[in-house]
Structure 1
Amino acid sequence: MARVAVLGAGSWGTALSIVLADKGHDVRLWTYRKEQAETINTVHRNEQYLDAPVPEQVRAFHKLDQAVEDVSAIVMVVPTKAIREVCEELNNTLIQQPVIIHATKGIEPGSLKRVSQVIGEEMVNYDTEDIAVLSGPSHAEEVGRRLPTTVTVSSLNTDNAAFAQDLFINESFRVYTSNDVTGLELGGALKNIIALGAGISDGLGYGDNAKAALITRGLAEITRLGASLGANPLTFLGLPGVGDLIVTCTSPHSRNWRAGNMLGKGHKLDEVVDQMGMVIEGTRTTKAAYQFAEKQEIEMPITEGLYKILFADQEPREVVDQLMNRSKREELDDISALQGTDYLS
């Protein structure tokens, strides 16, 4: 069994700690808040983020150097905006060179880098190709209850991908491998945009027909952008794409859906963030994807509409009206646009 540090004691970090502990690993869960670490170690729960017992073999630390001492793997689950800061601190802390696996679903606005690219850029003695990524349809609330869950890990370093698969896989947490790191990361990040839209649609009371259309056309947008950046379009038909999209757009477990639902009911973004008290990755990812679409000259009307709601203070109903009154087009134009790729030619 391995000694593993999980960096980030939110709902997802806590859930992954439970998975690793069930596998028999020595798990060290890091949070920057001393009082949170003490609570987890005393009552073996992290109730602010996840309503599930935390196994006793999960020990919480608030000092990073202690959390990563002599570990063979680091699982990074901090928000996108904190990745560079944590990597800088790791550079000053790590003596050994453990495998790094990240499970953060986001894109860095401005640089437009995927999380593995950010880690590879910041970490001394690591290349981007060595970083492993874990993603897929996986609500922390259900993983923490050990309900059946299936995810995918990917790394250009196939040994690290196999290591990550073996590290996590157990009776209730099935893990596949993939060689499409780009598709895995983009699928996990971009679906949060569509989940915000699905929540807004439900908040407006637009019904199942509208949400089904939003999910389907949202998948087309994600695939178009992903293919333009080198991802395999077929990845978006698997667990990191359709799978994650469905679970995030249809469940109140999803913080992005909940945030969108509040926006649809008339709440402003600042108010939503204050009430939820957790990071809503979809808001940052919407900004990054909007910038990506402009840079790649990719048509992403749903993303553009959400950008207007989040950052230009446009009313959700106005955006829906604009989407419904776009010019006529052929639905399969999206597939035709991919025919020239290596994957579909």
Structure 2
Amino acid sequence: MKKYSLILIMLAFAVGAWAQKPRVTTFPAAFTLTEDVTLTIDVTGTALEGMSEDLYLWAWSNNGDNLNNGSWDNSGAKNRLTKVGDNVYTLTFKCSEVYANPVTQIQGLVKTQSGSAKTDDSDPILLYDFSQMDGLTGAVYPNLFGVNTPISIMVNLNNCGNITDKENGPVHMHGALNEWGLYQIDFNYDLNRTALKPVNGHPGLWKLDLIPGEYFSKENAPVPEDLKVTGIWAVFNNGTWDQKADDNGSDFHFVSAVPVEKVQPAEFFLSKFTAEDVLPVIIKTSAFEAGSEGTEADPLYNYNDEAMSCAVTLTTDNGKETLNIAAVKTADYTYRLVLLPARQFQGGRSATAIEISFSAGVLKSETVLKGSFVK
């Protein structure tokens, strides 16, 4: 049975403890193995936040380690990151040059050259599979994007339009952000800006790499940083309207998918908390593991009776202390637990970590909520 562990880390510890993962984006969003890709890495909130010494990428893939890693206690010079802002760094490379074999997924962490401090592992970066475009006219990647999200817009001339030179082009985008009008860049506004480039190894497939807020801004009409992006409208041509590519007679509409907010089984009401705080906990049994073929449901999935007990364990200077405290039902499938760690626990004022499990009579949930206290 799947066990949830919802870990809220509020304090960056020294290497060997919780370091938190860096936030990583790539430009372009969709890239080939032989194409330059720039990683932008934000180490804010990690053990390396505010670090004054040089930082390095330590990376690997699904098919071997990065050739420029060096050794753990002496990172290779080619993986030294360039600082471009407060806690923000970049590194540019070609996957074909830094990995010995073809890869479909890359991942890494950031460290000091000697390895004395590091972040947690980043989220994996999956390389876009351009063969997905074989049966499509156009697509955007990723399909959930905002003003500052790097995206790649792709059009397959093999499947749409009347542009004759499908392999050599030129191909330009005539497009607008959200709707035709204010944030619109005509194909001839700046031919360098609107030009697509062919995707190596996929004849007839073209792409344009951009950040919406930058691409669709004009001097007299900058895109607001807080603009809610709903999508991009586009038509492609060869630099004239004699030859164009649209979506089977209609303008392309690359819609930004609406994110589905995942309801957490249990969560702390406060994003940061000390042992002296009043600490509410929200529990939603409808979000516990529902089970599927080959997987059992959590014993408290959709539990809706009045009584629920919570085993609350604090890690303190004196060791671990556990109390069983009742949660109050506030709505269907929803319970609230209110904690006062410094008062309820003998050593509560020195608490560094908290763990909560849930039960009702003989039913014991597999869900566990964990967190750390800010000092």
Larger radius of gyration: 2
TM-score (norm 1): 0.20
TM-score, length-scaled by structure 2:
0.19
- Write 1 or 2 for the structure with the bigger share of strand: 2
